[in-house]
């Protein structure tokens, strides 16, 4: 095999490896998806981007629909969470959600990895 051909094969191999590394990095990077929230009961909807791999629901700011996406949280419990945070100025720790009527320790254990404050 000639030196020129060997050199071309090495360059092609280097390009293939570089492309694989770039594709791997793109695949590993966090995917961004829009999440809409209503602010102050207004018609204006803000778009907030969050890391979908983390995909945690902020119980201090989530609207009813987003709260209802959590395990065991239906419309009544979601409203109870909103009422509790409105009355108490929000949650300081995720475990405080168990102070909301209808949120048992069992439900908390199921959602603890899905929520944040």
* pTM score, whole prediction: 0.54
Place of tokens 């803000």: 46
State the chain's maximal CA–CA distance in angstroms.
Answer: 80
Question: In this predicted model, what pLDDT tens digit does every residue of 29-79 receive, in sequence order?
Answer: 555 444 444 444 433 333 344 444 368 999 999 999 999 999 999 999 999
Share of the chain above pLDDT 70, in %: 72
pLDDT of residue 66: 94
Query: Which residues neighbour 20 within 8 Å (Cβ) at sequence distance 6 or greater?
Result: none
CB distance 71 to 107 below 8 Å: yes
- Mean pLDDT estimate for the chain: 78
pLDDT of residue 94: 95
Nearest to 83 by CA among 95, 96, 100: 100
pLDDT of residue 43: 37
Q: Which numeric CATH code is attached to 32-116?
A: 1.10.150.280
CB distance 78 to 68 below 8 Å: yes
pLDDT of residue 39: 46
pLDDT of residue 93: 94
């Amino acid at each position: 095999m000639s030196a020129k051909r060997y050199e071309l094969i090495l360059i092609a191999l280097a390009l293939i490896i570089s492309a694989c590394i770039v594709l791997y990095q793109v695949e590993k990077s966090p995917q961004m998806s829009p999440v809409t929230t209503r602010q102050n009961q207004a018609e204006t909807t803000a778009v907030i981007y969050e890391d979908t791999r983390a995909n945690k629901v902020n119980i201090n700011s989530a609207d009813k629909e987003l709260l209802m996406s959590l395990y065991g949280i239906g419309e009544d419990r979601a409203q109870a969470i909103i009422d509790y945070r409105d009355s108490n100025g929000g949650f300081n720790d995720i475990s405080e959600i168990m102070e909301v009527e209808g949120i048992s320790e069992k439900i908390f254990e199921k959602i603890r990895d899905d929520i944040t404050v």
